[in-house]
Amino acid sequence: MQVAISSRDNLLIQTVSAVDELNKSSNLLFERLTEWYGMHFPEFKTPEPVKYVQGVLLFDRKNIDQAEIEAVFGIQAPNIIGRMKSTVGSDLSDDDMRLVRSLASQIQFMWKLRDEIEAYEAKIATELCPNMSYIAGPELAAKLVAQAGGLKRMATFPSSTIQVLGAEKALFKHLKSGSRPPKHGLIFQHALISKASRRARGKISRALAAKLTIACKADAMSHNFIAEKLKEQFETQAKRILAKDAASPEGSKPAQRPPGNQGAPQGQQGKPPWQKDSKPQ
């Protein structure tokens, strides 16, 4: 049983890393594609990489297939066809085109594989850590476990560590030089945190990390499913934090903060406690 779990653990870490590396590689090759194909059709720009690759595979300057282009690009199609007809790009030989298109399909395959691995990663995460996956979503749960180096190991972490997991660089910079501490690591990817206002983020992060810490211990040890209650509690907390944040005016003084609150007053936020100039009375 122990072996089986730790091997699922390791598998999760492999899939998270594989997704990461496929992203990195496909970005690198996509950049090359835009530069290479840009010699032929520099006016073609689109904010969506997926569409760009489709365009490279589809376009043929000598034999423009209007219907196909409309099927992919919709209302942008006439604009693109116009540009294609008046392009200043140089002609590419058939050999060139074949290689550029091979590169484009290569990138498509990589994206496809990445999506498959990502789906699988979510499946393992839901099996391995159902509580954390329920609260934070399986993708985020998988990334947290991978960053922590395994589920058992993560279950020994305090909430404050889980809160900044993935922000190690900022954390150690804070500890060394007294810069502002990070408010969130990977858990920033949670929609409630990334969409919150800058002032509320730290508080919501702390609330989420607290619930994830409990969920992680349940996943690693007791294997009970307690996430429904935890998620409800977290959402209530988040709602309260957001309501307060919306009510209080921008740039409120520390005195206006709720009493018995969490964290140091604003004036001292930048320094760790042992670097304070004097003790509070």
Q: Under the rule (CB under 8 A), what is the footprint of its own copies?
A: 3-4, 7, 10-11, 14-15, 17-18, 21-22, 24-25, 28-29, 32, 35-36, 39, 90, 92, 95-96, 99, 102-103, 106, 109-110, 113, 116-117, 120, 123
- What are the φ and ψ backbone dihedral angles of 99, each rounded to 5 degrees? -70, -40
Minimum CB separation of residue 106 from its own copies in Å reads 6
In 3D space, the residue among 61, 57, 22 whose CA is nearest the CA of residue 40 turns out to be: 61
> Any idea how long the chain is?
281
Minimum CB separation of residue 156 from its own copies in Å reads 23
Q: Which is nearer to its own copies, 26 or 54 (CB)?
A: 26
Q: Which is nearer to its own copies, 39 or 191 (CB)?
A: 39
Minimum CB separation of residue 49 from its own copies in Å reads 16
Minimum CB separation of residue 125 from its own copies in Å reads 14
Q: Which is nearer to its own copies, 33 or 216 (CB)?
A: 33
Minimum CB separation of residue 120 from its own copies in Å reads 6
Q: Which is nearer to its own copies, 30 or 157 (CB)?
A: 30
Q: Which is nearer to its own copies, 18 or 58 (CB)?
A: 18
Minimum CB separation of residue 62 from its own copies in Å reads 18
In 3D space, the residue among 169, 133, 128, 171 whose CA is nearest the CA of residue 151 turns out to be: 128
Q: Which is nearer to its own copies, 119 or 243 (CB)?
A: 119
Minimum CB separation of residue 82 from its own copies in Å reads 23
CA 39 vs CA 23, 87, 88: distances in Å: 25, 10, 9
Q: Residue 270 in contact with residue 179, Cβ under 8 Å?
A: yes
Sorted by sequence, the CB contacts under 8 Å of residue 177 that are 6+ apart come out as none
Sorted by sequence, the CB contacts under 8 Å of residue 235 that are 6+ apart come out as 192
Other residues' Cβ atoms within 10 Å of the Cβ of residue 45: 12
DSSP string computed for 150-202: SHHHHHTS-HHHHHTTT-HHHHHHHHHH-PPPPS-SGGGGSHHHHTS-HHHHH
SS (H, E, C) 196-238: CCHHHHHHHHHHHHHHHHHHHHHHHHHCCCCHHHHHHHHHHHH
Q: Which is nearer to its own copies, 12 or 212 (CB)?
A: 12
Minimum CB separation of residue 107 from its own copies in Å reads 10
Q: Which is nearer to its own copies, 11 or 226 (CB)?
A: 11
